[in-house]
Amino acid sequence: MLSKRHGSGEGEDHGIDLAPMLDFVLNLLIFFIITTSFVKEPGVSVDRAEAETVRMAEHGNILIAIRANGEIWMDRRQVDIRQIRPLVERLHIERPDDTVIVVADKAAKAGVLGKVMDEVKAGGIKEVAMGAAGAGGK
């Protein structure tokens, strides 16, 4: 009798009820799907200039890096300045809300930065910002 109760009571409707856990996990999943922004990393790190008045970019998620030697990196590849426009056009069609941040090294040339920003504008993304680092850990 004791073994029968054991068998029918706990053994056969086995395990915990997974439904509440599934609800919880689905909620987490939805949260992460919504907050994921899929930033296009440039693939190189540059020495950014510090600035006091930086703005947190809400959806600045295409990063173009300009290194001190003038190399331009975008989406983990080194690109030529003439390639930026078609690349930006393609990304703009895929995700029209994306904005671009051009991150220039401290020692990079301002002329290259200007040209890159012009190419991005020509590619259809009007919101272009200069990348900077927050000063004093702000």
Applying the rule CB under 8 A, the residues between 13 and 32 that interact with other proteins are: 13, 15, 18-19, 21-22, 25-26, 28-29, 32
Find out whether 70 and 109 touch, Cβ atoms under 8 Å: yes
Nearer to other proteins, 48 or 85 (CB): 48
129 CB neighbour count, 10 Å cutoff: 15
Distance from C-alpha of 3 to C-alpha of 136, rounded to nearest angstrom: 69
How many whole angstroms separate alpha carbon 4 and alpha carbon 121? 76
Q: Of 71-79, 84-92, 112-120, which part binds other proteins (CB under 8 A)?
A: 112-120
110 touches other proteins by CB under 8 A: yes
Q: How far apart are CA 42 and CA 65, in angstroms?
A: 6
Residue 101 contacts residue 57 (beta carbons within 8 Å) = yes
The binding track of 42-81 with respect to other proteins, each residue x by CB under 8 A or -, is -----xxxxxxxxxxxx-xx-x--x---------------
Q: What does the angle CA 111 – CA 115 – CA 118 come to, to the nearest 5 degrees?
A: 140
* Interface pick for other proteins out of 37, 43, 76, 86 (rule CB under 8 A): 37
Contacts with other proteins by CB under 8 A lie at: 8, 12-13, 15, 18-19, 21-22, 25-26, 28-29, 32-33, 35-39, 47-58, 60-61, 63, 66, 101, 104-115, 117-118, 121, 126, 128-134
